[in-house]
Structure 1
Amino acid sequence: MKSVLSLLIFSLLFVSCNRSPANKAANSINKDSLLRHIETLSSDEFQGRATGTAGEQMSVDYLVNELEAMGVDPAGENGTYIQEFPLLGQTTSNAQMSVSTDGRTPFNIEYFNEFMAWPANQAEEVEVRNAELVYVGYGIQAPEENWDDFKGVDVEGKVLVFKNSDPAYDENLFGGTARLYYGRYDYKYEKAKELGALGAIIIHTDETAGYGWNVVSGAWSGEGFYLKSGDEGSSSETEFNGWITEPTSRLLFEEAGLNFDDLFEAADSPDFEPVELTGVRINVSMDADYREINGKNVLAEVKGNDPELNDEYLLLTAHFDHLGVTNPIEGDSVNNGASDNAAGVSALLEMMEAYQSVQPILKRSVLAVIVSAEEVGLLGSQYWAENPTVDPGKVTANINLDGMNVYGETRDVVVVGYGRTSLSELLEEEAEKQGRTVKPDPYPERGYFYRSDHFNMAKVGIPAIFPNPGTEYIGKGENFLALRDSVADANYHTVSDEINEFWDLSGAEIDTRLFFLTGFRALNAEELQSWKKGDEFEATRLEMLERLEN
């Protein structure tokens, strides 16, 4: 009798729970409404949504119309939904690199095939002559790891040569095999600038990069985009950044009488000290043309109702831009970006509409920042993070939606940033209610945490997660995961990223509901969300909160 009574009570609680306003709002999110947004944004009419094009403006207009129709308030500039940001498009030409050595024959290094370089300070001309080279290992300064590759050596005015990635030989250092921000090329270039270096060159190997030289040459030979700094050509900044192939690096080290393999291995030690390439000098020159563009982020909010908490926010991000129109492949030149990232934008819009429907019971507020210029360097989110419309210390957490599960329901969901924040724990609890599990990123060595818009939010202290599709598909057969990966890989950043016969948005539907309910928990929680103790972004968060308290 007791067991029957317990079952009855559980059933009543389950029904009551699923009839709650939050669950009712979650259940209003459905695959048909998700598909409507994806079909529109990924249509040929939107021209691939590239930054600075008519396709970007069409996307902005669509997003604004949808948000207005929901009754969601504008949160951009001057009472609008728009946050404009200035961009420079940079096209490098006439790039040359040569080496001078003591008493030996100098040699040239071939652009594209052996090196890639571009102005680092938005200058129209770069002319570096007879510069000293210093190998700095990984070039990492990480006090929390008791690691400093520079050991107080003055590198101002010199060209730094970096080993790519970060130490991975010890699971207790730098996250083991997981690539941290210290291993990203962005960090190396920022460190060179911070220390007053004249230039920065990263040695490419397939192993340390995780991709071939063709990816480097292809990515950096086209137009690059940067946030306009307002101090173009400043002599206080690094003159150029670049990459160099492994065979060319070996030649440079040999000319300096150094053993490349020994020094590459030596970098995997906290005792490493910078090594001058004695007797080797480098010459670098190039020109660059620029065009000015105004990118546009779309911002909207649902205001919370607690007078003490409604100035705190849950931040939802997704990028709406894609690659635009490129050279035709079998007659198709539009990069539609259905999965990347019309799907993520669609999920964000559905979540905002659901939050609007339960606005009377929200304590904190919801801020949607739908960014442009992600595909050209996370620049839209970088601009918001550097010019925030609300204080980052008042943002409880960020859920970033970049690519959704468009291939069907899964028993699991992957979270990039798993276990790093209290928000990750909330998501686990909500997933458990769905009878599902949460798993960490299966490819931590690829550094995905630093490759989408949530990273810019993390850099200013905001606890952030990046949900990804799960891997245990329901009712699809044991070989479906391999099929999914092959289809997704073939479509990634190509004209074939379109809705196809393998799509099944029941997965996106249940995932979006999960993210909505996780966000709802954060909006009504007693405390702000936090980074876990010892996380690389915890100190920034604590400093920001302390500043607000004072």
Structure 2
Amino acid sequence: MKKLFLFVVVAAVAGCMRSPITEIADTITEESLMEHIEVLSSDDFMGRGTGTEGEKKTVDYLISQLKENDIKGGMPDGSYVQEVPLIGQKTDENAQLTITKGDEAILTLDYYTDFMAWPANMEEEVSIEEADLVYVGYGIQAPEEDWDDFKDTDVEGKILVVKNNDPNSDPDLFKGETRLYYGRYDYKYEKARELGAAGVLIIHTTPTAGYGWNVVSNSWSRERFYLRSDESARDSPTVFNGWLTKDASSALFESVDLDLEQQLKAAENPDFEPVPLEGLSLNIELKATYREQNSKNVLGVIEGTNNDLKGEYAVFTAHYDHLGVTQPVKGDSINNGALDNAAGVSAVLNMARGYKELQPQLKRSLLFLFVGAEEVGLLGSKYWAVNPTVHPGKVTANINLDGMNVYGKTKDIVLVGYGRNSVSDVIEEVAGERGVEVKPDPHPDRGYFYRSDHFPLAKQGIPAIFPNTGTEFVDKPEGYKAKVDSLQDANYHTVDDEINKYWDLSGMVRDVRLFFDAGYRILNRNELQSWDEGDEFKQKRLEMIQEAENQ
């Protein structure tokens, strides 16, 4: 009886010694996470498309949840919404693209099935007749890599045919298989505009893109948006941007006796020179309609309690928008976006509730930034980054949650941006204490660091990290990882991104609690977080800190 009594006393004392952070983290449960996911991914929210009634419902829901937890609005006047001024562009889907040789039309390509294209200059009508085409490999000019795919070729007024991604065959160039900004479609279009090309067609292959043609067609056939404050599109000499399927690209090259695979391989060589598609001309007519539309960022703030540090912030981001309503697939036209990104929004809402309970212990302040218009070009986060409510030099870190582990516990977690900054180090510290292995991005070739909302903040010097799902599942049957990968690839940016029978939020609970603890430590460390030496964002960080100190 004495031993039993002693055991009970020790257990009781141990329970009393649990840290407040652990007690609050334990309130983040499968039920609390699923609650928000079920609401936001329901058909009632109509896929949360930018500029739609579904977006308005989502914004109202987010504000109600912040208010319910007594979290103040994050705008300077105490309100919750930052208006993001956009202009929407919808391209007529009846467009056709023809390739002529002499007076003969040798290829007629159909919109959506064979190519995607849209006006790059904000015009209502675009008409190109008999434009020359030139294949420019990756279309990259990188002096630091001694790489120039253009070799002084005059491409003004021509159509560029471009390979997706960036060179990856040499580990000493372009960080090997790690996709850099040079590999993003944004860069290809920007380079074309800089050099005065009339249009761009990026050759799509699933390996070079990291996703299938269905993602291209479904994503780019929707209404596209631009920041109204961005004048670069209106001043663009480039008339249209677009994509070509691999089959259409093969047919294009074969018409001038070139082999597509050989040409794609040739682009890996720094000695590559542009290949004019002699004798071919491109003809295309595009029509587009426009409307002015505001998206919205939703901001909540928890003020820190240390007089010296409460003017500095940690920022948690998650995009709330998805693809909205698109062409029906088996009778379903609502892209519910359960994983992308109702899950990430739920994670941030749960952490916000927890941090509010811990507010007396927080030295720095917290900003919860639910951004809109991510799926149309990271526009919500881009807008906040150039119109920040907190000076970037006063932001210690950004943890961005976009998609979560909804398929069960893993032995590990993945950090996109692993080893680039001290935020990564803090997460690894917490993970190590919990027996969780931290791994770098297993798909560096897909360029995920440049594809979510932490990227615009990183460009402003803010140390940012993008956690992803682990790769080693526990207590699951053999072949489960392959099944999960297949599901995610099949459901990504489709109407099938819904809660399904394979969902198991035990892993998400573990991960969110881990990030919650890491955030707590970042908030209470004496020093600001930093980029590692040699990182591309290190210099911008130093400049922003200096600018903030001088204000």
* TM-score between both structures, scaled by the size of structure 1: 0.87
Contact 1:34–1:347 (8 Å) recurs in 2 = yes
Partner of 1:83: 82
Contact 1:83–1:297 (8 Å) recurs in 2 = yes
Partner of 1:202: 202
Mapping of 1:177-326 within 5 angstroms? 177-229=177-229, 231=231, 234-246=234-246, 248-249=248-249, 263-326=263-326
Distance 1:17 1:86, change over 3 A: farther
Q: C-alpha separation between the residues in 2 aligned to 1:296 and 1:458?
A: 21
Deviation at 1:25, TM superposition (A): 3.1
Deviation at 1:277, TM superposition (A): 4.2
Give per-residue Cα distances to partners, 1:222-258, cap 9 Å, x unaligned: 4333333475973444211112344554565566686
Mapping of 1:337-352 within 5 angstroms? 337-352=337-352
Partner of 1:8: none
Contact 1:417–1:440 (8 Å) recurs in 2 = yes
Contact 1:109–1:115 (8 Å) recurs in 2 = no
Q: Match for 1:240: what amino acid?
A: F
Distance 1:124 1:34, change over 3 A: same
Mapping of 1:126-145 within 5 angstroms? 126-145=126-145
Contact 1:77–1:83 (8 Å) recurs in 2 = no
Deviation at 1:196, TM superposition (A): 3.0
Give per-residue Cα distances to partners, 1:456-507, cap 9 Å, x unaligned: 2223332221112223333334443344344444544444444344333222
Q: Match for 2:422: what amino acid?
A: S
Distance 1:146 1:542, change over 3 A: farther
Where structure 2 has 5 or more consecutive residues not aligned to the other structure, the ranges are 1-9
Q: C-alpha separation between the residues in 2 aligned to 1:149 and 1:240?
A: 21
Q: Match for 1:439: what amino acid?
A: K
Q: Match for 2:136: what amino acid?
A: V
Mapping of 1:432-451 within 5 angstroms? 432-451=432-451
Partner of 1:417: 417
Distance 1:329 1:78, change over 3 A: same
What is the DSSP-based 3-state SS (H/G/I as helix, E as strand, rest coil) of the residue aligned with 1:466? strand
Contact 2:219–2:323 (8 Å) recurs in 1 = no
Q: Match for 2:518: what amino acid?
A: T
Q: C-alpha separation between the residues in 1 aligned to 2:438 and 2:233?
A: 48
Distance 1:294 1:173, change over 3 A: same
Q: C-alpha separation between the residues in 2 aligned to 1:62 and 1:36?
A: 12
Contact 2:140–2:147 (8 Å) recurs in 1 = yes
Deviation at 1:267, TM superposition (A): 2.1
Deviation at 1:332, TM superposition (A): 5.2
Q: C-alpha separation between the residues in 1 aligned to 2:170 and 2:430?
A: 34
Contact 2:211–2:489 (8 Å) recurs in 1 = no
RMSD between superposed Cα atoms in Å: 3.1
Contact 2:161–2:201 (8 Å) recurs in 1 = yes
- Is the counterpart of residue 512 in structure 1 residue 517 in structure 2? no
Partner of 1:35: 34
The worse-fitting range, judged by mean Cα deviation, of 108-117 and 418-427 is: 108-117
What is the DSSP-based 3-state SS (H/G/I as helix, E as strand, rest coil) of the residue aligned with 2:289? strand
Q: Match for 1:52: what amino acid?
A: G
Q: C-alpha separation between the residues in 2 aligned to 1:421 and 1:16?
A: 35
Where structure 1 has 5 or more consecutive residues not aligned to the other structure, the ranges are 1-10
Q: C-alpha separation between the residues in 1 aligned to 2:155 and 2:537?
A: 27
Distance 1:388 1:434, change over 3 A: same
Q: C-alpha separation between the residues in 1 aligned to 2:382 and 2:357?
A: 30
Q: C-alpha separation between the residues in 2 aligned to 1:141 and 1:543?
A: 26
Contact 2:460–2:540 (8 Å) recurs in 1 = yes
The worse-fitting range, judged by mean Cα deviation, of 365-374 and 488-497 is: 488-497
Q: Match for 1:535: what amino acid?
A: D
Partner of 2:25: 26
Q: C-alpha separation between the residues in 2 aligned to 1:230 and 1:517?
A: 38
Q: Match for 1:388: what amino acid?
A: P
The worse-fitting range, judged by mean Cα deviation, of 442-451 and 484-493 is: 484-493
Q: Match for 2:44: what amino acid?
A: E
Contact 1:302–1:359 (8 Å) recurs in 2 = yes
Give per-residue Cα distances to partners, 1:39-79, cap 9 Å, x unaligned: 32233333332222222222111111111122212113643
Partner of 2:429: 429
Contact 2:192–2:199 (8 Å) recurs in 1 = yes
What is the DSSP-based 3-state SS (H/G/I as helix, E as strand, rest coil) of the residue aligned with 2:86? strand
Q: C-alpha separation between the residues in 2 aligned to 1:299 and 1:191?
A: 34
Q: C-alpha separation between the residues in 2 aligned to 1:247 and 1:338?
A: 32
Contact 1:18–1:24 (8 Å) recurs in 2 = no
Give per-residue Cα distances to partners, 1:121-159, cap 9 Å, x unaligned: 211011234434343221223344333333455544433
Distance 1:200 1:461, change over 3 A: farther
Partner of 2:406: 406
Distance 1:483 1:274, change over 3 A: closer
Q: Match for 1:24: what amino acid?
A: E
Q: C-alpha separation between the residues in 2 aligned to 1:272 and 1:230?
A: 34
Distance 1:181 1:411, change over 3 A: same
Deviation at 1:290, TM superposition (A): 1.8
The worse-fitting range, judged by mean Cα deviation, of 534-543 and 372-381 is: 534-543
Q: C-alpha separation between the residues in 2 aligned to 1:208 and 1:332?
A: 29
Partner of 1:122: 122
Q: Match for 2:68: what amino acid?
A: A
Contact 1:351–1:516 (8 Å) recurs in 2 = yes
Distance 1:257 1:37, change over 3 A: closer
Question: How many pairs does the alignment contain?
Answer: 538
Give per-residue Cα distances to partners, 1:11-37, cap 9 Å, x unaligned: 99x969963333333233233322222
Partner of 1:160: 160
Give per-residue Cα distances to partners, 1:204-235, cap 9 Å, x unaligned: 33443344445434433343333334759734
Q: C-alpha separation between the residues in 2 aligned to 1:134 and 1:164?
A: 15
Q: C-alpha separation between the residues in 2 aligned to 1:300 and 1:260?
A: 51
Q: C-alpha separation between the residues in 2 aligned to 1:156 and 1:549?
A: 45
The worse-fitting range, judged by mean Cα deviation, of 79-88 and 534-543 is: 534-543
Q: C-alpha separation between the residues in 2 aligned to 1:46 and 1:271?
A: 52
Q: Match for 1:457: what amino acid?
A: L
Mapping of 1:352-367 within 5 angstroms? 352-367=352-367
What is the DSSP-based 3-state SS (H/G/I as helix, E as strand, rest coil) of the residue aligned with 2:110? coil
Give per-residue Cα distances to partners, 1:255-274, cap 9 Å, x unaligned: 66867555433321233344
What is the DSSP-based 3-state SS (H/G/I as helix, E as strand, rest coil) of the residue aligned with 1:79? coil
Distance 1:158 1:318, change over 3 A: same
Deviation at 1:389, TM superposition (A): 1.9
Partner of 2:3: none
Partner of 2:55: 56
Distance 1:371 1:161, change over 3 A: same
Deviation at 1:515, TM superposition (A): 0.5
Partner of 1:45: 44
Give per-residue Cα distances to partners, 1:63-104, cap 9 Å, x unaligned: 111111222121136431001212333222253434455x67
What is the DSSP-based 3-state SS (H/G/I as helix, E as strand, rest coil) of the residue aligned with 2:95? strand
Distance 1:526 1:156, change over 3 A: farther
Deviation at 1:189, TM superposition (A): 0.7
Deviation at 1:513, TM superposition (A): 1.1
